[in-house]
Amino acid sequence: MVWSKLLSREGVDITTISGLDIVFYEDIWEFSKRREELFFTYFHNSHFTHLIGVEQQKLGEHLLKVHAPSPAQIIRKYEEGKALRKEIEETTKEWKKKLSVSNLSEAFDALNSQFLLINREYSITPWLYLEAWQQRMDEIVRELLPNKPKAVKEEVLLSSLYSPWKKTALNEIQEKLQKKESPEKLAQEYQFLRSWSLIWNKPLDAAWIRSIAQIKEKEVPLPLDKVIKILKPDKKQQHLLELAPYLTFFKDWRDDLRRYHCYAWQFFWEKLSVLFSVPKDDLGYLTLLEIEDSCRLGKIDRPCIEKRKTVPLVVTAKLPELQMIMKEGPPQQYLTIINSLEKKSKQTVVSGNSAYPGKAVGKVCLIRSYHDVKKVQEGDILIANTTHPNYLPGMKKAAAFITNEGGLISHAAIVAREMKKPCIVGTKIATKCFQDGDMVEVDARSGIVRKVF
């Protein structure tokens, strides 16, 4: 079995991870037809890494055919998602009134059933097929761009191709900022965007709202049929191009929905924190199953929480069942896989896909979360797993952007085209290969980042 790193994040609680991983396992088992340990998550010091034992691209392409084969299917998921958001709003409104010690388990069941549905339809499964679609789209676009007339700008074609079908919350905020609406007011209105983590999150403030202001007025996009006529795709390529407006929208909108779910249920975790006399964030060291047991038994495992704050652990499935369990330590079999992948990342030259051409030389500034953005100095090379709208203050200072994940539709790629800064995406390992202060040379035309000795 060949293992690879799927993704890494920081600041996501174990409670959330234990729910995400159920759906990762469902999708992997359905695709592989093998009920084996083909996935696990390594967690240490609030940082986690998902590792996978099947080919990610093939898994994602399979899920795309099943779940989002046409614009009509995506539109249906959007309509169902709107109904789900309304259900979440009504359910949480009711539980806020009646939540008590006697009905904790019932409330947890309501929260958890919605969370599982979110992960299947609007979080994990879509993430897998959207990543695969994006990778294939990048290949198609790079193949077809030479077909365009010289008079047609590449940037106009790309922005037209990835122009979303509808607006999402971030688009709404940018429009309202242009109309001079108060950032303080907008921070309250869009507070639900603060996190997709069930327990660990921090409130949004006016500074965050200001940070996502639109960089410049966007050009009016070309109609999709005109873009297709210019690029001259074959039948299979055209099908994926026709999905672009809908999947571009769905990529961000489904994130709005999962964040809303986490935000709407915050009162539940606050109530547990009071009832069990523990800080709310401490609850985030327990799995969903352990939270369920705590609600049923009326007590919490404090020693377990304290241990997990410092001890590395693995989240995996208890075979042959689909029940997420913790293995502390972790056992050597997992360390062998992790160490093998770490060794592969110790290189001084990294390649990825060019999102905007250009060259730059500068010092590396690693961004692992929004709180690192303040480290970025003028001329730095910003390197991150992926970028988010609240990274914009740092991106404005940086000379170039490098990301582990993403493609031409990613936030980093879009901002790079707007700012006209060199950008390489999809390197997979850049954050592992370079450290703060390293001098690197970025050649975004060829997609190469090289450490300068």
CA distance linking residue 380 with residue 362, whole number of Å: 5
**How many other CB atoms are there within 10 angstroms of residue 175's CB atom?**
12
**How many other CB atoms are there within 10 angstroms of residue 257's CB atom?**
21
What pLDDT, in 10s, does the model give residues 226-268? Answer: 999 999 999 999 999 999 999 999 999 999 999 999 999 999 9
Give the per-residue pLDDT at 211. 83
For range 362-370, the mean pLDDT: 91
Radius of gyration of the chain (CA): 22
Give the per-residue pLDDT at 347. 82
Q: Which of 355, 343, 334, 330 is nearest to 410 (CA)?
A: 355
> How much is the mean pLDDT over the chain?
94
Helix axes 154-161, 224-231, angle to 10 degrees: 130
pTM over 0.85: yes
Residue 118 confidence class, pLDDT cut points 50, 70, 90: very high
Cα–Cα distance list, 84 to 27, 75, 189, 352 (Å): 22, 14, 19, 38
Give the per-residue pLDDT at 217. 61
The answer, yes or no, to whether residue 153 has pLDDT greater than 90, is no
The residue whose two tokens read 């997990």 is: 308
What pLDDT, in 10s, does the model give residues 78-112? Answer: 999 999 999 999 999 999 999 999 999 999 999 99
Give the per-residue pLDDT at 240. 95
The answer, yes or no, to whether residue 345 has pLDDT greater than 70, is no
Between 370 and 14, the more confident residue is: 14
CA distance linking residue 331 with residue 46, whole number of Å: 19
Q: Say if residue 320 is preceded by a cis peptide, omega within 30 of 0.
A: yes
Give the per-residue pLDDT at 208. 87
Residue 434 confidence class, pLDDT cut points 50, 70, 90: very high
The answer, yes or no, to whether residue 418 has pLDDT greater than 70, is yes
Between 432 and 72, the more confident residue is: 72
Give the per-residue pLDDT at 322. 84
CA distance linking residue 153 with residue 369, whole number of Å: 34
What pLDDT, in 10s, does the model give residues 178-228? Answer: 999 999 999 999 999 999 999 999 899 998 899 888 766 666 789 999 999
Give the per-residue pLDDT at 218. 64
Residue pair 285/310 in contact by the 8 Å Cβ criterion: no
What pLDDT, in 10s, does the model give residues 103-115? Answer: 999 999 999 999 9
Domains in the chain: ranges and CATH? 4-128+264-341 (no CATH), 136-237 (no CATH), 347-451 (3.50.30.10)
C-alpha torsion angle, residues 369, 373, 374, 376 (rounded to 10): 130
The answer, yes or no, to whether residue 163 has pLDDT greater than 70, is yes
The residue whose two tokens read 């994926």 is: 240
**Backbone torsions φ then ψ of 440, nearest 5 degrees:** -130, 155
CA distance linking residue 107 with residue 100, whole number of Å: 9
CA distance linking residue 292 with residue 106, whole number of Å: 10
Q: What is the DSSP letter of 410?
A: S
Both tokens assigned to 368: 């692992």
For range 418-446, the mean pLDDT: 94
Q: Which of 200, 202, 196, 191 is nearest to 273 (CA)?
A: 200
CA distance linking residue 295 with residue 100, whole number of Å: 11
CA distance linking residue 114 with residue 19, whole number of Å: 11
The letter for the amino acid at 320 is P
Between 219 and 68, the more confident residue is: 68
Give the per-residue pLDDT at 122. 98
For the ranges 218-222, 359-363, 410-414, the lowest mean pLDDT is seen at 218-222
**How many other CB atoms are there within 10 angstroms of residue 277's CB atom?**
8
What pLDDT, in 10s, does the model give residues 131-145? Answer: 999 999 999 998 999
CA distance linking residue 64 with residue 48, whole number of Å: 26
Residue pair 174/212 in contact by the 8 Å Cβ criterion: yes
Both tokens assigned to 256: 């709005």
C-alpha torsion angle, residues 352, 167, 16, 434 (rounded to 10): 20
Give the per-residue pLDDT at 150. 87
What pLDDT, in 10s, does the model give residues 287-338? Answer: 999 999 999 999 999 999 999 999 999 999 988 888 889 898 899 999 999 9
Q: Which of 432, 356, 336 is nearest to 398 (CA)?
A: 356
CA distance linking residue 251 with residue 345, whole number of Å: 29
